[in-house]
Amino acid sequence: MTIRITEDEDESGGYAFIDLGRPLASPLLSFRRQDTEPRHLGAEGWQPEVAWLAPLAVTERDGRAVARFGPNVVDRIEELVPIEIVAQDGTSFGVVAWPTISPAPSGGGILAGLPAAAPTLTRDGIGGPSVAATEAVPLPEPEPAPPQDAAPAAPPAPAPAARKSRLLWPLVALMLLALAAGGAYLYRDRLPDLVARREAPPQEPSPPPAPPEPDSRLTAAELRQRYARLVDERAPAGAFLALGETALASRQGSAAFRAFEEADPVTSADAAWQLARFYDPGNADAAYREAARPDIVRAAYYYALWRNRSPRHTEALRALCEGSAASDRLRAICRP
């Protein structure tokens, strides 16, 4: 059984599960890259001497050992680098092309996601909440009472406002009469229209709008559940290809990439084609671009897996090789 590497979805990046495909007798493993020197991964990075690294945890699943590693391994291996995994007792579990795994967050990115502190009240010097001061309004002083033997005061003259209100009442009455006359005039002119509307047959009510069609797209969580179920069932490549197509239809590019990768691009031409499309600079589809940035070398790698065996892979690879300034890695892939 081949090695299977999957990202730990419970972490924000930098952790992965490595399903070795068979039991593990020794707890220490070695990661050896096959493309360049130095080829051994150590505690401080790549080094010429062999190094043995301990997983964070090892679990048994149906007779297969599953080792969990963190950023000291995951963040130091680039995507598509061929890696041989060897146990300390000399058992080689085979060579695997390292998959796409999100790196561990670093720097201020962790703090940037924290919620802002709740606003607090500014306190004054005595410890209470500060409030805006209001200006005191002095109360009017009471007038002195008149002496009892004084003559009664004359009644006060009516206030100017009272006099004005007496003059306004005739004007208000005239305005109301004018409005009533105007309303009667308009009603007389519109009476034929009102009668015609009343005598017209009632119209049938318009049918209610059709209910919206239910959205058949799956969420990222639902796709992860299906992916995990297929892995546990050891489903064939066709099941992962179908899941990848469903994820693309749901506009979930990351889930689609993981499913196509599990289908094994080395043995599946469709899986290799889809993974190449994720990196092909000529593909602008948003679902693909959400999962991976354009990378002509990686696109050429997946196309080249089926060169001379699949016409579409061969033609797409030729177009990439002819339409770009080739780097050393791209020239090596494009070489027949």
> Does the pLDDT of residue 164 top 80, yes or no?
no
Secondary structure E strands in the chain:
4-7, 16-19, 29-33, 40-42, 45-47, 57-61, 64-69, 82-87, 92-97
Q: What is the pLDDT confidence band of residue 169, given thresholds at 50, 70 and 90? A: low
Lowest-confidence pick of 143-152, 167-176, 263-272, 318-327: 143-152
Cα 267 from Cα 265, distance rounded (Å): 5
Helix, strand and coil content of the chain, in percent to the nearest 5, comes to 40, 15, 50
pLDDT tens, 69-88? 999 999 999 988 899 999 98
Which one, of 305, 222, 298, 293, lies nearest residue 263 by Cα? 305
pLDDT of residue 49: 87
Which of 176-185, 205-214, 243-252 tops mean pLDDT?
A: 243-252
The CA–CA distances, whole Å, from 161 to 165, 167, 170, 172, 174 equal 6, 10, 16, 16, 21
DSSP string, 287-306: HHHHH----HHHHHHHHHTT
How far apart are alpha carbons 56 and 220 in whole angstroms? 27
Burial of 307 (0-12, 13-18, 19+ CB in 10 A): middle
154 pLDDT band (50/70/90 cuts)? low
- pTM surpassing 0.85? no
Give the lowest-confidence range in 49-63, 165-179, 306-320. 165-179
Q: Supply φ then ψ for residue 123, to 5 degrees.
A: -100, 150
**pLDDT 10s digits, 250-288:** 999 999 998 998 888 888 999 999 999 999 999 999 999
Name which of 66-70, 132-136, 274-278, 292-296 the model is least confident about.
132-136
Quote the percentage of the chain above a pLDDT of 70: 66
pLDDT reading at 232 higher than 90? no
2: pLDDT confidence band, cut at 50, 70 and 90?
confident
Q: Is the dihedral of CA 214, 217, 220, 226 positive or negative?
A: positive
For residue 304, what are the CA distances in angstroms to 80, 89, 259, 313, 316? 13, 35, 20, 7, 9
Q: What is the pLDDT of residues 202-230, one digit of tens each?
A: 544 455 555 544 446 889 899 999 998 99
CA distances from 186 to 154, 172, 173, 288 (A): 54, 21, 20, 67
- Residue 247, pLDDT > 80, answer yes
Q: What is the pLDDT of residue 109?
A: 33
Choosing among 1.20.1640, 3.40.50, 2.60.40, 2.40.50, the CATH entry for 4-97 is: 2.60.40
| Residue 334 to residue 330: CA distance in whole angstroms | 6
Q: Could you tell me which CATH number the domain at 220-334 has?
A: 1.25.40
Q: Which two tokens stand for residue 273?
A: 């084609």
- Find tokens 């092909």 and name the residue: 280
Per-domain boundaries in the chain: 4-97, 220-334
pLDDT for 110:
31
Q: Which of 121-135, 163-177, 240-254, 295-309 has the lowest mean pLDDT?
A: 121-135
